[in-house]
Amino acid sequence: MATFSQEEIEKVWRELEQNLRRVSPLIREHLKYIDMLLMHVSSYRDEVVKGFEEFRKIYQQFVPEAPMDVWNRVILIARSLGQPINIVLGDLITKAVSKDSSELVKYRISFSEKMLGEGEKLLKEGDIIQASEKFWNAVVQAIKAVAAQEGLELRTHAELWNYINTLAKRYGDIEFAKLFADCNYLHKNFYEGNLLPELVKEYIESAKKLIKKLRELIRI
């Protein structure tokens, strides 16, 4: 299975960021639609390609001179980083439309809150698998919001863990790491679906607690 080297990831990532930043006013007009699409993509694995193609059409409309194979490269970035496509797209979009780090933090918090809402809705509907991934994504965006305040960009799972461990050491609070460990089971459950509903609900509570602790670190 083909993947990008770190150097190739950086090159394609910057290319996409630059193209999206050039048309950020247009993207801003479509943010509501894009948020819905990104959350849709993260929810249904069987419809990832369909959702991705819809977003590709939007991008081609914004940046008509962009190479047609650009989306294959985004998929390769996601695969190389070990991240879902919607997370990679979300990172690219929020970074591109943000005027400064403060606005980037606000976008990440907003996306986290939307994921929380979607997760709660799915949980009430009894869709434990999809709810697991929503709460996981809500946690990821909250972590990235805190990191953005320091000018840090977290892309890989390892970088998320390293940053959480940094927070645990910085504040002398091991609960950051313990709660994040629980949240990882939510992400795993999305792909394997073997956790008991009762256990998933416990991990979801851990996700909520971690997000609350992270929100307390936001300075805006």
Going residue by residue through the chain, which has 220 residues, state the pLDDT in tens, using 9 for 90 and above: 566 676 777 777 777 777 666 666 656 665 555 555 555 545 444 445 555 566 666 666 665 655 556 667 777 777 777 777 767 777 777 776 677 788 888 888 988 998 899 899 999 999 999 899 889 989 999 999 999 999 998 888 899 999 999 999 999 999 999 999 999 999 888 878 888 999 999 999 999 999 999 999 998 7
Q: Which domain holds residue 203?
A: 99-220
Residues 68 and 118 in one domain: no
C-beta of residue 31 within 8 angstroms of C-beta of residue 97 = yes
Q: What is the predicted pLDDT for the residue at 58?
A: 61
Last residue of a domain, one of 51, 73, 97: 97
Query: Which tokens hold the place of 49?
Result: 């390609």
Is 0.85 surpassed by the pTM of this model?
Answer: no
Residues 68 and 2 in one domain: yes
Residues 104 and 135 in one domain: yes
Residue among 71, 82, 94 at smallest CA distance from 17:
94
C-beta of residue 182 within 8 angstroms of C-beta of residue 114 = no
The distance of Cα 123 from the centroid of its chain, to the nearest Å, equals 19
C-beta of residue 66 within 8 angstroms of C-beta of residue 57 = no
Q: How far apart are CA 170 and CA 143, in angstroms?
A: 15
The distance of Cα 49 from the centroid of its chain, to the nearest Å, equals 17
